[in-house]
């Protein structure tokens, strides 16, 4: 087993599932475009570090800003979209951005992607080994979990969850749903942006296949399995998402069909969870 790689992926999925937890777990907004923020950030980081020679931290900061701008665009369009219409809007955004990434070859490299991305560096120190990079990823994920824990215990979360439960009642107490939805989308985009930068910096190569709607659905499945509305649910979901394929690899199921078998297993796990444990393994709310 490639433990440093597993740790890096665990950190990345902790960030991604936590991001969706903010939007869906607390806010009740089913978003199927989490891979957009992930991808936009990964590409921004790759372009800034590879073509413009920026170092990792400034590139990550700018990637976060770019992802936030995309979230603000989504937020302003989605102000009048709720429920199923919001889901369709996020799918549309995902499809549009995936098409742009695939076809804007001059910037994204199209199907060839961008390769040769330098590894992360922190304050001038290059993190060259996989273990160093894993440590960097785990520290970032841990910071995200601490922030999510503050978020969970805050009056902000209380009001945001109240809007999810009954928007009109929350408004009658002076809570502005637009502010909460906007700010939560931006916060979630920042979490996803960190994941995207980490992915680009630690794998050294990105292409459009990592940021499709399949990835957004996979993040949603991980949240459904782990559970939402608290800090531990996304962590459990990320662990399942990362360890399940590794376990399959270890016991050598499927040979050449391993990827397909993995998809089938995720699908079955999701159906079983929805039927018998709709709150997920460690969640507070079910996703209905």
Binding positions for other proteins, rule: CB under 8 A: 147, 150-151, 154-156, 158-159, 161-162, 165-166, 168-177, 183-184, 187, 285
- Would you call 279 helix, strand, or coil by DSSP? coil
Compute the radius of gyration of the chain from its Cα atoms: 18
**Least distance between other proteins and beta carbon 31 (Å):** 18
**By C-beta, is 81 or 243 nearer to other proteins?**
81
Q: Measured in Å, how far apart are the chain's first and last C-alpha atoms?
A: 37
Rounded to a whole number of angstroms, the minimum distance from the CB of residue 53 to other proteins is: 31
Burial of 165 (0-12, 13-18, 19+ CB in 10 A): exposed
DSSP string, 13-69: HHHHHHHHIIIIIIT----S-HHHHHHHHHHHHHIIIIIS---HHHHHHHHHHHHHH
Judged by beta carbon, residue 176 or residue 247, the one nearer other proteins is: 176
Tokens in use for 152? 């969970």
Measured from the CB atom, is 55 or 167 closer to other proteins? 167
Nearest distance, CB of residue 122 and other proteins, angstroms: 21
Q: How far lies 278's CA from each of 46, 86, 199, 215, in Å?
A: 38, 22, 30, 21
Strand partners, 115: 205
97 versus 148: smaller Cβ distance to other proteins? 148
Quote the least distance from Cβ 281 to other proteins, whole Å: 19
Instruction: Judge whether 225 and 270 are in contact, CB under 8 Å.
Output: yes
User: Nearer Cβ to other proteins, position 8 or 163?
Assistant: 163
d(CA 8, CA 12): 6
Shortest Å distance, C-beta 37 to other proteins: 17
- Looking at the Cβ atoms of 30 and 162, the one nearer to other proteins is 162
In the bound complex, what is the minimum distance in angstroms from residue 92's beta carbon to other proteins?
Answer: 26
């Amino acid at each position: 087993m490639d433990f440093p790689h597993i740790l890096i992926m665990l950190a990345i999925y902790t960030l991604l599932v936590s991001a969706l937890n903010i939007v869906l777990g607390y806010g009740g907004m089913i978003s199927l475009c989490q891979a957009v923020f992930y991808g936009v950030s990964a590409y921004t980081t790759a372009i800034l570090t590879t073509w413009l020679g920026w170092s990792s931290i400034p590139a990550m900061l700018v990637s976060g800003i770019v992802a936030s701008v995309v979230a603000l665009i989504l937020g302003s369009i989605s102000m009048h979209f709720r429920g199923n219409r919001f889901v369709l809007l996020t799918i549309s955004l995902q499809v549009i951005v995936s098409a742009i990434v695939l076809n804007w070859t001059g910037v994204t490299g199209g199907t060839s992607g961008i390769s040769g991305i330098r590894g992360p560096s922190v304050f001038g120190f290059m993190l060259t080994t996989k273990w160093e990079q894993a440590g960097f990823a785990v520290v970032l994920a841990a910071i995200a979990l601490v922030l999510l824990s503050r978020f969970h215990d805050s009056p902000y979360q209380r009001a945001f969850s109240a809007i999810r439960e009954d928007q009109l009642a929350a408004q009658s107490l002076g809570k502005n749903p637009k502010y909460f939805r906007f700010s939560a989308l931006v916060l979630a985009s920042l979490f996803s942006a960190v994941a995207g930068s980490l992915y680009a910096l630690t794998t050294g190569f990105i292409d459009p296949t990592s940021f499709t709607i399949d990835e957004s659905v996979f993040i949603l499945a991980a949240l459904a399995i782990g559970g939402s509305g608290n800090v531990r649910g996304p962590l459990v979901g990320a662990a399942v998402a990362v360890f399940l394929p590794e376990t399959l690899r270890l016991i050598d199921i499927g040979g050449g069909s391993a990827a397909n078998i993995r998809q089938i297993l995720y699908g079955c796990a999701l159906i079983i969870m929805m039927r018998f444990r709709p709150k997920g393994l460690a969640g507070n709310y079910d996703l209905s």
